[in-house]
Amino acid sequence: MNTHFLFRVGFVMVFSALLLLFSAFWALSQEGKLVLKMTGYLVIAEEEDGRLVERLLPLPETTTPGDIIQYNISGKNNSQESLFNVKAAGKIPRGTVYIDESNRSDIPADFYVSIDYGKSYAQPPLIIKVKKTDGSEKEEIVSPEAYTNISFTIKKLVAGETFFSSYRVQVR
């Protein structure tokens, strides 16, 4: 495997995660009501006592095609009042693809995806209209490989409440 390519992929992954983390903290620290934390982990599957067990390891400096990365987003309502429609967003870093249905949340949350770098979101599966050569239109389901961003929306987060959500991507 080309080491230069691995370095570039690894750098892009780590840089994207740090940029995302910084932007989430900056946007939400302005109000001080909601504290978000995002961390990325390399997912390793190991056999233990005849069972396959997953372990989360710190993100390495480089990754290789096929590696699975889990992004965890945790948050806490630090205010004295309930917060409504709390949004916790993440990016699908370039060089990776979202793993379909890998999103999890420990409290009820609506899950949304974007194919336009976060300008608009909708719940999966995304359906787009495609113009055929004869001028007619047909509907097509967008592949999760086209997703660029994800978002969890929590309808109500009471004072002091925390949440944990996650999603996974695979390195191309």
Closest CA to 13 of 75, 92, 93: 93
Per-residue pLDDT tens over the stretch 93-130: 999 999 999 999 999 999 999 999 999 999 999 999 99
Report domain extents, the chain: 3-171
- Classified by CATH at the fold level, domain 3-171 comes out as Immunoglobulin-like (2.60.40)
CA atoms within 13 A on the CB side of 70: 20
The structure's pTM equals: 0.81
Encoding tokens for residue 101? 């249905």
Per-residue pLDDT tens over the stretch 133-168: 999 999 999 999 999 999 999 999 999 999 999 999
Q: How far is CA 133 from CA 13, 130, 136, 171, in A?
A: 38, 10, 7, 34
d(CA 54, CA 58): 13
Per-residue pLDDT tens over the stretch 54-103: 999 999 999 999 999 999 999 999 999 999 999 999 999 999 999 999 99
Asked if 171 and 66 count as a contact pair (C-beta separation under 8 A), the reply is: yes
The verdict on whether omega for the bond into residue 65 sits within 30 degrees of 0, i.e. cis, is no
- pLDDT range class, residue 32, cuts 50, 70, 90: confident
Q: Is the pLDDT of residue 20 over 80?
A: no
Asked if 158 and 79 count as a contact pair (C-beta separation under 8 A), the reply is: no
Closest CA to 152 of 115, 117, 116, 124: 124
How crowded is residue 119: how many other Cβ atoms within 10 Å of its Cβ?
9
